[in-house]
Amino acid sequence: MNESLLARRYAKALLAYSQELGEAEALYPIMKHLGQRLRPQSHERDVIGNPVIAEELREEFVVALAGNEAPTSLERFVKLVFDHNRESLLGEMARSFVRLYRTARGITYARLESAHPLDEQTREKIVALIVAHCGGEVELDTSVRESLIGGFVLRVDGRQLDGSVAGRLERIRRHFAEKNRSIV
């Protein structure tokens, strides 16, 4: 069975169970955090997959990564995952849970990289533009990437808008490279 499909099935079951218990909203930020911490090649993922460490300790480690107030649904889910030897997929399950939760709640995820930090007013304008285009609620993650030189790169629902100086320079470089190939 495809691991992505398996992770998605576990995530779907967790979402349904947490909604049944009324814990889905509290579980969402925890799963976002776990999805980030349990990326491939992370030390936390190595600990979880280490068979030398007792299973109970690895389960406690995952719950501790989640924070002090881990909901019942998460504790039971972690136990289920370890009982079925699927701990290597926990990070992928967490990321699938986040995507499913956003879809269920109509949340549009957007990522904005800019050359300089954004002030709150600019951030609010960008969120308003995304809401006008996509509707619903918007979750915007911002980061600074100085290599853009100026401008921004905005990613929304698999689409990318590159308004950076570095992106423009790259497009100009490719244009000249194509022209020069046709001359020769």
pLDDT tens digits, 39-79 = 988 899 999 989 999 999 999 999 999 886 789 999 999 99
Would you state the structure tokens that stand for residue 110, as one six-digit string? 């957007």
Three-class DSSP category at 152: strand
pLDDT at position 86 over 80: yes
pLDDT at position 2 over 70: no
pLDDT tens digits, 91-148 = 999 999 999 999 999 999 999 999 899 999 999 999 999 999 888 899 999 999 998 8
Q: Are 129 and 148 in contact (CB under 8 A)?
A: no
Q: How far apart are CA 107 and CA 100, in angstroms?
A: 10
pTM greater than 0.75:
yes
Amino acid 177: pLDDT: 86
Concatenated DSSP letters of 39-107: -TT-HHHHHHT-TTS-HHHHHHHHHHHH-TT--HHHHHHHHHHHHTT-GGGHHHHHHHHHHHHHHHHTE
CA torsion, ordered 107, 113, 114, 115, to nearest 10 deg: 170
Place of tokens 């590159």: 162
Please state the length of the chain.
184
Q: How far apart are CA 109 and CA 102, in angstroms?
A: 8
The pair phi, psi for residue 140, each rounded to 5°, is -110, 120
Q: Which residue type occupies 134?
A: C
Amino acid 21: pLDDT: 94
pLDDT at position 4 over 70: yes
pLDDT at position 164 over 80: yes
Residues pairing with 155 in the sheet:
111, 160
